[in-house]
Amino acid sequence: GAVVSQHPSRVICKSGTSVKIECRSLDFQATTMFWYRQFPKQSLMLMATSNEGSKATYEQGVEKDKFLINHASLTLSTLTVTSAHPEDSSFYICSARERANEQFFGPGTRLTVL
Amino acid sequence: GENVEQHPSTLSVQEGDSAVIKCTYSDSASNYFPWYKQELGKGPQLIIDIRSNVGEKKDQRIAVTLNKTAKHFSLHITETQPEDSAVYFCAASPPKAAGNKLTFGGGTRVLVKP
């Protein structure tokens, strides 16, 4: 099946630093990738849609200057949390779309901001 | 936009019994309905999906039914096993032309007691 990887799996950083999370589709090309955020015991909240070679589309209420997304190739999208603060601590998950609708998810990245 | 409601939020069953999770959606244009299983600390895993031109789909112990008229779909797990314990999410997605974004239900925490 389609495999999506994320790196790192967990990161702890100090307040004010920036953190980059990578999302890779390992065995297929993904023209579209999605970034989600998940708080404990809650559902997934879509943050943005990342299209290869174009600017990401952000959901309402998501600060595009804080959550920078780059989708430079058909197998890699990155999410950079800029000037992270404790309220940015969360579980960040990416997904990649293989065919018409199917999305395959990465294993997630646990971000803790001290 | 799309709104997906999922019930119940928690479900406890005895090993060997069946589990049923129900979801309703609001957007009649949605035509793709996946189900995901999420284990603690991991990303969601696609377990089964159904498209609007099909009423039922089965894969071993898992089945999904779709009623487009009533705008609801259900996940059925038969002969439950302890390893089925996880959080299950339903989702709905409109056609590709409308953005293909998944809208998730709130999740169902399933506990299978041995």
Cβ contacts of residue B44 below 8 Å, gap of 6+? A44, A93, A105, B36, B37, B38, B89
Q: Which residue of A36, A38, A44, A102 is the best one to mutate when testing the B interface, meaning the one whose CB has the most B CBs within 10 A? A: A44
Of A30, A25, A24, A29, the residue nearest A8 (C-alpha): A24
pLDDT(A101) > 80 = no
State the CB neighbour count (10 A cutoff) for residue B53. Answer: 8
**Over 90: is that where the pLDDT of B21 sits?**
yes
Q: B107 vs A42: CB contact, 8 Å cut-off?
A: yes
pLDDT in tens, A71-85: 888 899 999 999 999
Residue A60 exposure: Cα atoms within 13 Å on the Cβ side: 1
Which positions in chain A touch B99 (Cβ < 8 Å)? Answer: 49
> Which of A32, A43, A106 faces B89 most closely, judged by CB atoms?
A43
**Whether the Cβ atoms of residue A55 and residue B6 lie closer than 8 Å to each other:** no
